[in-house]
Chains A and B, each alone.
Chain A
Amino acid sequence: MSIVELKDVCKTYPAFRLHDVSFSLESGKITGFIGRNGAGKTTTIKSMLNLIHTDGGEISYFGMPLSGHETEIKQRIGYSTGTVSWYPRKTIRQIVDVTRTFYRSWDEDAYRKYMTLFGLDESKKPMELSEGMKVKFNLLLALSHRAEVLILDEPTSGLDPFSRDELLGLFQTLREHGVTILFSTHITSDLERCADNIIYISQGEIRAECSKADFLKNYGNPGETLEEIFLRLEREAKS
């Protein structure tokens, strides 16, 4: 069953165009969103979060259009990006104390559990955290309100191999609990391990949307990894 649907979403910038992007996310699945830098992954994700004003198309969650149900939808989704630092001079405690007041389903037990799992200290400020710990803090905010859909933009960038491994395990656990995850990354080895489906975007257009097994079968040569297929497709598109 589709829980998130994008239909003919487009956005034109002076030097880039997102062409009629359409795809859907299956409930309780991890979908890898791959594409090279500048392919349109972040623009698509920002459209899904109403951070940018699209030129056309429809976006819906849980059968409700984003336009007109933004508040209700945002209560039920979580977003994390690997690189942004929110309120660098406030403590984690101050940021969380305010953030929790916005969510009806804030889960204090989950928050405590992830604080321990990620090794975060409430008295620290984002400016005092390493890049990897900032990623974990952003994830903590996304995970602590029982989000049914997680939109993760490069969630493993900057993480050490052990933390990445832990995180991928966590995503698999969340999937078992029915959480739907859109996982945008260029680290395709992460998707080899945990993705059920693959969406491939290139030059602002969706080139493939299928299960990981079908992607490997339809686009790959025998023995090719996801990364090798991705690189070959990009080279072919360039030539």
Chain B
Amino acid sequence: MNALLNKEMRLSASILSYLFIGFGLMTLLPGYPILCGVFFVTLGLFQSFQSAREANDIVFSALLPVAKHDVVKGKYQFSMLIELSAFLLMALITLLRMTVLADSSVYLQNALMNANPFFLGVALLIFGLFNAVFIGGFFKTAYNFGKPFVSYIIVCFLTICAAEALHHVPGLQALNAFGFDHFALQMLLLLGGALLYAALTWLSYKKACENFEKIDL
């Protein structure tokens, strides 16, 4: 593990960032908009940015023997670690719902989104939006996180609403597939979500580095 990620995990992070990974378990809830679990995971990450600001973490990090833009890298690495840990948990539960629990009546009678690869793809998209809108927005000033977080909340819930509504549109029922139905399409959508996550994260990281270099700490 590199020194910056170690610093993020041991000094900068709020304990809530780790605990809120557990919201990935919401993937098990029947009759619930399970994408909200993704939002709660990012809420835990937001707490780390809040506690880091109170601890003068950004200036402390910039004084360490690292390039100034590496401070941004540390924040992105930590956020991705939490996001991908939560994603792994959600993926395991999704697999459980697609196999062992595939015939469970509480899931079969679910009017909301099923846990399937499309759900995982949207989860990755929301994590990507957090990185782009919140973290990218935070590094425009390196202290103001209120506006970026409110912007992220709006984008996040619009995405959740759209994802929940889409499978009710005639012709798009395959988005809400059970078990391994429409598996090729489902995996394609998951791949699309993964690509969007990678693109949003990478592009916002580059922009955040550029902005952070210009900031006066």
Cross-chain contact A87 with B57 (CB below 8 angstroms): yes
- B64 cross-chain contacts in A, Cβ below 8 A: 74, 99, 102
Residue of B7, B11, B68, B216 touching A70 (CB-CB under 8 A): B68
Q: Which residues of B contact A94 (CB under 8 A)?
A: 10-11
Name B192-217 residues within 8 Å CB distance of A.
213-217
Determine if A112 is an interface residue (Cβ-Cβ < 8 Å). no
Given contacts A84-B59, A86-B60, A87-B55, contact A102 B65 (CB under 8 A): yes
A-B CB contacts (within 8 Å), total count: 66
A103 to B7, alpha carbons, bound, how many Å?
Answer: 13
A71 within 8 A of B: yes
Contacts A53-B215, A53-B216, A94-B11 given; does A102 touch B59 at CB 8 Å: no
Q: Which of A71, A86, A99 contacts B67 (CB 8 A)?
A: A71
- A79 near B214: Cβ-Cβ < 8 Å: no
Give the Cβ gap from B212 to chain A, nearest Cβ, in Å.
10
CA distance A97 to B10 in the complex (A): 9
**Per-residue 0/1 for B57-78: is the Cβ within 8 Å of any A Cβ (1 yes, 0 no)?**
1011011111110000000000
CB within 8 Å of B: which A119-158 residues:
none
Task: Compute how far the CA of A98 lies from the CA of B213 in the bound complex, rounded to whole angstroms.
Answer: 24
In the assembly, what is the distance between CA of A70 and CA of B213, in Å?
13
What's the nearest-Cβ distance from chain A to residue B168, in Å?
48
CB <8 Å contact, B11 and A79: no
CB-CB contacts of B29-57 with A at 8 A, as 1s and 0s?
Answer: 00000000000000000000000001111
- Cβ-defined contact, A85 with B59, below 8 A: no
Tell me whether A89 and B55 are in contact (CB under 8 A). yes
A216 contacts B by Cβ under 8 Å: no
Determine the residue in chain A with the shortest Cβ distance to B62.
Answer: A51
Chain B CB within 8 A of A90 CB: yes
The interface bits of chain B over 92-116 (1 if a CB of A lies within 8 angstroms of the residue's CB, else 0) are 0000000000000000000000000
Q: Is A46 an interface residue (CB 8 A)?
A: yes
Q: A74-B66, A87-B11 are in contact. Are A53 and B213 (CB under 8 A)?
A: yes
Q: What size tier do the contact residues of chain B reach?
A: 20 to 34
Q: Assess whether A88 is interfacial by the CB under 8 Å rule.
A: yes
CB-defined contacts of A103 to chain B, threshold 8 Å: 65
User: Which residues of B have CB within 8 Å of A50?
Assistant: 62, 68
Q: How far is the CA of A209 from the CA of B65 in the complex (A)?
A: 29
Which A residues lie within 8 Å of B214 (CB)? 53
Q: Nearest B residue to A100 by beta-carbon distance?
A: B3
Asked if B6 is an interface residue, CB under 8 A from chain A, the answer is yes
Query: A149 to chain B: closest CB distance in Å?
Result: 13
Residues of chain B within 8 A of A46, CB atoms compared: 216-217
- Please tell me if the beta carbons of A74 and B65 are within 8 angstroms of each other in the complex: yes
Chain B residues in contact with chain A, CB under 8 A?
3, 6-7, 10-11, 54-57, 59-60, 62-68, 213-217
Of the A-B pairs whose beta carbons lie under 8 Å apart in the complex, a sample of 16, sorted by A's number, is A51-B59, A51-B217, A53-B214, A53-B216, A71-B65, A74-B63, A74-B64, A84-B59, A86-B56, A87-B60, A88-B54, A88-B55, A89-B55, A90-B55, A95-B11, A101-B6
